[in-house]
Structure 1
Amino acid sequence: MKKILLIIIFTYSLLFSKEVTLQLPWKYQFQFAGYIIAKEKGFYKDIGLNVKLKEFDSTIDVIKELDENKIEYAVTRPTSMIDISKGKNLKYLATIFQSSPLVLLTNKNSGITSLSDFKNKRIMTSGDLSSDVSLISMMFSQGITLNDLVIQEPSFNTKDLIDNKTDLIASYISNEPYILKELGGEPVIFNPKDYGFDFYSDILTTSKSYLQNNHEEVKKFKEASLKGWEYAFSNINESVEIIYNKYNPQYKSKEALIYEANELKKLAYFNTNELGKIEPEKLEKIYNVYKLLGLAKNNINFNEIVFNDLNKESNLTNEEKSYLTNKQPIKMCISSDWTPFERLNKDNKYVGIGADYYSIIEKNLSTKFELVKTETPNEALDFIKDKKCDFLSLAVRTPLMQKELNLSSTIFKVPLVIATKLNVPFINKLEDLKEEKIAVPRKYLNIDFFKSKYSNLNIVEVENAQEGLKLLKEGKVYGFVGTLYTVSYRIQSEYFNDLKIAGKINDELEFVIGVNKNDEVLLNILQKSINKIDELHTKEIIDKWASTIYEKTIDYNLIWQIVTPFVLVFIFGLFFYTKLKLLNAKLSDQKKFINTILDIQPNMIFIINKTESIFANKFLLDFFDCKNLEEFQKKYFCLAQTFIQEELFFHLGKINDNSTWIDNILKLKSEKRIVSILHPTTKTTKVFNVSIVELEDEQYLISLTDISDTILKQIQLENKSTHDKLTGAFNREYFESHKNLIINEYTKENHLLIFSILDIDFFKNVNDTYGHDVGDRVLKQFVQIIQNSSRNDDLVIRWGGEEFILLLKINSIDNAKKVLENIRKTIAQTSFEKVEHITCSIGATVYRENETIEDSFKRADKALYEAKNSGRNKVVIKN
């Protein structure tokens, strides 16, 4: 009887539930666990919906079906913004994964360790920009284009990496790496977010028309779906059990599903505590990538496409109106000195971003807040607990604030930067500063999150920017992390001769309003006021106060110090973004803006293509005493013509073939890309570090940074003491003093250290026949060939006479054989001055753990002896 009753109740609920469809972009797996759990646990049924989950079907145009209301809901990718730009009326409800799981995967034995190794490699990906845009953008950013790759049709079989049918595959970080491990491989992952391309994934979407007609249902559907996701991530084992038994068309193991769950949970909560968070600003950044790649053209109102289920109605309820009338004064805690966010000036007047923002709120509410001065966020929290004030004007969203206060939605965000001393190189990634002491203000940052994310840093907690920058100036820390505006202001006002901003990091401070936990009415009032202030108005306020950082008369040294680190970090992205369409009238404003930024830099910027110079900035023209680019071109055939021929530096005399000077300097390690130029007016020698970025259509952006005063002496001293004077190879003394470090570096992470000896065959005959001058030139050219044919990690050492040591950091003996054979063949095929052709014999061995270098040398020497006895011009490797 009980079973019959349950069946009747279930049937009744189905009959009176509305059926809606949720279209998934792939087959069932944990990637869709939230929706599966919401269905299985009755979360959808509780809101009167019978949700039909549909797996991927290649015959269905999901965007078209959504737009025409043939399906109610779908999980889409950010590429759907391209469809929106073409007129599809979609509405985004939530983003499940804050960072995309799409990555490139290879097996460790492929020898691919960096993006530069991708050239001429086979890759299984669609090659379709709209599908793989984050992967392609990652490669483009490092100079790798689709023409550099061998594109293969995807087989969706990870075993192809093991069977050597391909070198790289596009995959999900939550799936294929686990499969590769199960097959006995060692996954090597290249993630776009590590290169600045951080995309959303799996966006819960409906159509605008469906939302308009079913607003309350859509709101509840979103809430039930997120409830399902929260349950799935909080109960992974139970959720896996359900998916394994009922939703497993791919026959995944439980272990694989658990692995997928844990990886996806990281992505769902990446840089946030809010499940399903979706931000118009991030959508815009993603869409801009589509635009610069030519996939989209039209503009989008990003606020318009995001569903905001907050009550946008600014009219107050009777209860809220009564609150404002009776609860007077409403006391607002502010920071007394947090420029440019807020402070009390010398006349005790409230100024800053917060002051301008709250003047709008006060006007909208027809009220006036009473200011309560506080020195720290903790003091403000105490004041709110003790009812000395009712809310905090500008709180930073941290776990502490979320625990202690009711927080509003985000008002605005500010990027974080790292400040260093002037002599520190520019910093691309904070993670690169291993073990360095970095000061971080405990007042405003989520210290625990920061320590977890940057676990390789030595975090020094400080109270505020004043304390952190003081420690930095005194040399007690390597860097200080703070907000762009605060750090810029402090450097300008107190430290502009000592400190600089050395880079932007991939974190932001999220500013909100913090209200007493027991005061829901006030939170609702303030939230409605926030909703009424549009994003453009907020941006105008922030821009106004950010600009006050630069109120002083233009001082190019100051601008260089504060702005240039950002320009250098973002300049290539900026150029990539605008694509340098200098002849395109539609982008004339962007061109002027870019040129203005370039002109205020005290480093030389030059842009050329294969036939002519395109742009030279003011600093370069002033250096060469030229009024414009045309005058420079009349004086100099090309920029490289100005490079002085000095042995320590790169110059045209070091080019032995028909390749360009740019091709040659790009072959050098970045720290070796140094040139010397004679100043035309002062006749003094200046030394520059050269940075080159390849743009589209064979264009190059060249940046020359003056390092004369800070690095020249160091380079000269280092080269004299560590390099062979004749060939430029490292000398034996360098190896003897650094061998322990070299061995540790070359043998970590299961790499092999290959110890090889290269000896020129019959070199005595060269000296006897052509003289020692020719012999010296042969040795120099011989070393250049080795350096050009080897990798960045390889180390060339002149051991004595015509004998050289080449140390290889490599993952297999087979790969070592290929590298050495390539060097041998290149030498044999190269024409040397007067001598024409020479050959070399190579003996090599694998360094054995804990053995002496002498033992390695003896074994390599035996291999060399064998190579010479067997006819020379051979490679022999002995284990």
Structure 2
Amino acid sequence: MLITHTFVKVIHAFNQQYNRAIFHLMKKIVLLFLFIITLPVIAQQDIKTLKYCVDPDWMPFEGVVNGKHTGIASDYLELFSQSLPYKFILVSTNSWKESTDFLKSGKCDLTLMLNSSAEREKYLTFSLPYFFGPNVLVTKGGMPFIQDLTAIGDMTLGVVSGYRLLEEIPMYYPEIKIKVLSSEEAGLLSVNQGDIDAFVGSLYSINLSINTLNLQSVKINGWISLQDKLRIGFTKPNAHLTPIFNKTIEKISSKQHNDILMRWSDVRVVKQTDYTVLYYFISGMSLLFIVFLWRYLVSIKISNALKHKNKELEQIREELLFVNKELEYLSFHDNLTNLYNRHYFMSTLNDHLNQLARQEIDSCILMVDLDFFKKINDEFGHAVGDKILQQFSALLLNALRAGDIAARWGGEEFVVLLPETDNNSSLTLAKRLIEAVEHHSFDLNINLTISIGVSQFKDNDTIESWIERADTALYQAKNEGRNCIKESL
């Protein structure tokens, strides 16, 4: 009896220990299950949502079709989505003006593709530029080619409301008569109807609009030096995102840039089959055979014609790409010396000035003038003078370092930006340039000297004051005998 009682107690204790083990095991299983089902929610909380606005009618750059974002900007957004932990939500608008109003009011966090400007910098912070494109002039077909905005003269120029060009053209060319238009389409139609003489806008969007609207009497008839440098614009509360997106922009390869451009500048012909053919039932098998034979021959003729048109369009597309590259180069460079032109220099200097505002680094400007150059033109002719300018430009480029920017300022005057360079280093480079000119053998054994003014950036400088101090130093060098260097105070 004692043995039986002891056995029962052992069995009871075993059951209690077994039940506790089962209970703890089930508890762990339930906790693991709850962790698994909440893991996607936790991960989703780490993904920040960014609302963005676009220009709904600016193809091929961007647009909204059936509520979906499309165009070049949408392809770049796909690259950003793959690299960054953000979810992008499109905020629909009816116009670019409405998009800018939403950005100002904070209804949107960013916009993907626009130029920077002084007005926009009041409410946006900009990323690095990631897409470049030339701006062109459109006129009626019979007008002569327009070299630049300086050749507009008394003509009326159309510009789209809210676009960056409406700020910069009056700044650089205050004498031009401007008519503000609601859209690019309205501008092209105004040229076609003779309401304005010329219209300015992006090459890629204008080329697409001319073809879409089937405007036969207008043409791209010139270019301007103000190019598009398209960037992401962040509202001020989201300015901290700028360096994050800049790193992603810097990682975009040339192949990815080219693939996107080719995808949206490609020209295609869509073959369509006409299913509305009326069949006549004619008695007799022989006549029916003749009808089918005739249709077969016609289809071959149409197919050959489409192949020929496709080949012609492909050739036109290749020519357009070549012309685009030529226009882009010409919009940045002086056509005589192949140095950068004045407008490109001013645009680059503006970007550099923004960098100087963020970083404590030294930078200098050199203003260079060829001494008694008018005398060379008068004695030897302008052809020889042009040759001297070209030879001096080659000497100037050879004397500079990688990263220095040289441009023809106008006539025989040149300007050089020396980034991350203090006053002493700038004076050393200027002396080296003067010696190179003195020892160079120019055409017809012409003895050439130069005068140089140097100015180092100061904390309170604007673009205008910085350049003016360099120009004042150059004027002093010319007054004190030329062939020398003077630095601004």
| Superposition TM-score, scaled by structure 2 size | 0.46
Structure with greater helix share of residues: 2
Q: Which has the higher contact order (CA 8 A, sep 6+)?
A: 2
| Superposition TM-score, scaled by structure 1 size | 0.26
